[in-house]
Chain A
Amino acid sequence: QITLKESGPTLVKPTQTLTLTCTFSGFSVSNSGVGVGWIRQSPGKAPEWLALIYWDDEKRYNPSLKTRLTITKDMSKNQVVLTMTNMDPVDTGTYYCAHRGGSGPTDWFDPWGQGTLVTVSS
């Protein structure tokens, strides 16, 4: 059974850097085809994809946020870490990590973690 759980601060100040950790079980991020993605959702809005890291360490970022994002993986700890710099109140929302499905060129997410609510406020 695959499970993922996000952890990190619930409150950050504007201009600070957010660091979120996704701790997972039930799969290995070193296996071919595997990936872990980060997706966020502002209250009442659609999800927004942020970043994705693959088994071969290829990384993809949402172009609109690319300059602020870094995604890394730690295979020994079964963790994927996302950092987002220069946080702003508009970045407030629930941040999810998710297991990347598929083994070909297409990407879908299943399952997702429970999400962690991040509020950006001074």
Chain B
Amino acid sequence: DIQMTQSPSSLSASVGDRVTITCRASRRINNYVNWYQQKPGKAPKLLIYDASTLQSGVPSRFSGSGSVTEFTLTISSLQPEDFATYYCQQSYNTLTFGGGTKVDIK
């Protein structure tokens, strides 16, 4: 299986901050990476698919980039509703998720 190593595992930030989360794949996966947001007690919600395509209805402050083995989710200006846990997921072969990044209030 391809391992997805997400970093950091947690971070503290303030409203308005720029936040960057990274996922590194154990081998090349082209652009087959997706990003989800999960709030406590809720199902994950798709934010970005195919590394950089913003899902319909997702605010433009979210963006994705990267290719091959290194991928990034960026929140350009953190909003109160963005405090959550974020996961990457690869679909190059057996679907696997990263370990998650919890974003909380500084």
Which B residues lie within 8 Å of A115 (CB)? 43
Interface residues of B, count at CB 8 A: 21
- B50 interface residue (CB < 8 Å to A): yes
Instruction: Decide yes or no: A63 and B1 within 8 Å by CB, A49-B97, A52-B95, A110-B55 being known contacts.
Output: yes
- B8 interface residue (CB < 8 Å to A): no
- For the complex, give the distance between the alpha carbons of A101 and B99 in Å: 22
Chain B residues 21 to 67 lying within 8 A of chain A, measured CB to CB, are 32, 34, 36, 43-46, 49-50, 55
Interface residues, chain A, with chain B CB atoms under 8 Å away: 37, 46-49, 52, 62-64, 96, 98, 101-102, 105-115
Which A residues lie within 8 Å of B43 (CB)? 96, 98, 111-115
Whether the Cβ atoms of A101 and B49 lie closer than 8 Å is yes
- For the complex, give the distance between the alpha carbons of A111 and B91 in Å: 17
Instruction: Decide yes or no: A49 and B55 within 8 Å by CB, A108-B34, A108-B46, A108-B89 being known contacts.
Output: no
